[in-house]
Amino acid sequence: MKRFSLFVLFCSSAAAAWAAAAQPHPFLPNQFAGWQIESPPRLSDDAAAADSAYAAALKEYGFNQLESAIYTRPDRKLSVKAARFNDATGAYGAFTFYKSEGMETEKIGDLGASAGTKVLFYRGNILVEADFDRVTAMSAAELRELAGALSQPTGNNNKLPTLPTYLPRQGYIAHSAKYVAGPAAFSNVHPPFSADVVDFQRSPELVLGRYSTAEGVATLVLIAYPTPQIAGDRLRAIESWIKASSCSAPGGATGGGCDFFGKRSGPIVAVVTGNVLRSEAQSLLAAISYDADVTWNEATSLSKKDNIGNLIMAAFTLIGILMLIALVIGFAFGGLRVLLQRFFPNRWFARPHDVEIIRLNLPR
């Protein structure tokens, strides 16, 4: 009975510990820059609670937890919604998903943008949307202090994707880049072709950017696949889809022209569509050149264990040590015999009466 009670107690403790670990933990500070949290924050691990319209896209970015809080100070109010993702890539992707053209760039956290009283920024793996009752000259500095109080991921979880760095800067429309990692997000950023033709089962990462051209606005899409072979196959599929789509109709399927220009650079597929001259499209594509980032793990010099000279020297050293040990033991044994014979003659050694000689009386 006693053992059963202990077992029940152990199971209860384990269940309580698991339940405590499963509960979301707040990560917003209680106060910063004079702002004080008004009441306990609301926590949720449901992406629909963060944004019911784009819950599927948030899950693709690796949504982990939402924390909503109201901060106050005398005659002031600030609403903060913070979403935590599995890594910094997810937070960056969600930031690009929600930011829009026309927003002002802000130096808050890792990257920020503002429009009126709303400020959007991300720091590490946390995306923050702050809504002021009114904006002052110190609002940005206050949010920088908030960003500094947020915990940061470690190791590879703090690394950002490199694909957006391949977007050319000339003609780029500010805050038009969208980094997506799944079909739900891709379908909601006004793509120039279907998500099916991208084939997200191949684990691609994708970024879109809009560019001003002499003819209007063009869209540049970069898709990075695991291998160049997959990239070549998908480029041909995208070209076939665009040629077979309703882009041949007046106005185009996306309402922005139907010219198609594409190329592959390593595992990256680059596609330009929209209202763009051939020369401008080729200029955009020429600016994209895949640069392989190779990590050389092979040793550039012989280690001690791989050097044959060190092995030979170690062998001779061992031989010398063994010879020295043999000499020490030999001298010790011989010296002991001499001392015993000197102080105790004919007692343990050199006893003639104990020596027997076997004689063979062989005939001559």
* pLDDT given for residue 32 in this prediction: 95
Asked if the structure places residue 198 within a domain, the reply is: yes
Identify which has the larger pLDDT, 12 or 281.
281
Boundary (domain end) residue, out of 247, 271, 286: 286
Residues 334-344, mean pLDDT to the nearest whole number: 75
> Could you tell me if 203 and 124 lie in one domain?
no
Any long-range contacts for 275-282 (C-beta under 8 Å, 24+ apart)?
275/213, 275/215, 275/216, 275/217, 275/218, 276/211, 276/213, 276/215, 276/216, 276/218, 277/213, 277/214, 277/215, 280/171, 280/213, 280/214, 280/215, 280/218, 281/218
pLDDT of residue 10: 47
> What are phi and psi for residue 218, nearest 5 degrees?
-120, 155
Q: What residues does 83 pair with on adjacent strands?
A: 66, 127
pLDDT at residue 125 tops 60: yes
Model confidence at 29: pLDDT above 90: yes
Same-domain check for residues 74 and 171:
no
Residue type, 354: D
Residue 355 included in any domain: no
Based on the fold, state whether residues 32 and 101 are members of the same structural domain.
yes
Residue that wins the pLDDT comparison between 205 and 305: 205
Contact 266, 224 (CB under 8 A): no
Residues 127 and 81: their CA atoms lie apart, in Å, by 8
Kindly state whether residues 34 and 153 are assigned to the same domain: yes
- What pLDDT shows up at residue 250? 43
Task: Please report whether residue 6 resides in a domain.
Answer: no
**200 and 184 both lie in a single domain:** yes
The residue assigned the tokens 């000197």 is: 342
Among residues 100, 128, 158, the one where a domain terminates is 158
Instruction: Note whether residue 232 is domain-resident.
Output: yes
Q: Are 188 and 240 in contact (CB under 8 A)?
A: no
Dihedral sign of CA atoms 303, 307, 313, 317 in order: positive
Which is more confidently placed, 157 or 343?
157
Q: 342 or 61: which carries more pLDDT confidence?
A: 61
Q: Convert the pLDDT of each residue in 183-229 to its tens digit.
A: 999 999 989 999 999 999 999 999 999 999 999 999 999 999 999 99
Same domain, yes or no: 316 and 253: no
- Total domains in the chain come to 3
Tokens standing for residue 272: 């330009």
Mean per-residue pLDDT, 341-351: 66
In a domain, 200, yes or no: yes
Same domain, 153 and 170: no
**Residue type at 161 in one-letter notation:** P
- Are 67 and 29 in contact, with CB atoms under 8 Å apart? no
Answer yes or no: is pLDDT of 255 > 60.
Answer: no
Domain region containing 65: 20-158
Q: Is the dihedral of CA 181, 185, 186, 190 positive or negative?
A: negative
Residue 313 pLDDT? 86
* Same-domain status, 146 and 170: no
Task: For residue 185, count other CB atoms closer than 10 A to its CB.
Answer: 26
Q: How many CB atoms lie within 10 A of CB 71?
A: 25
Mean pLDDT taken over the chain:
85
- Within 13 Å, how many C-alpha atoms sit on residue 3's CB side? 0
Q: Residue 339: which pLDDT band, with cuts at 50, 70 and 90?
A: confident
Count other C-beta atoms under 10 Å from residue 53's C-beta.
8
Judged against a pLDDT cut of 60, whether residue 19 lies above it is answered with no
Backbone angles phi, psi at 50, to 5 degrees: -75, -45
Are residue 267 and residue 171 in the same domain, yes or no?
yes
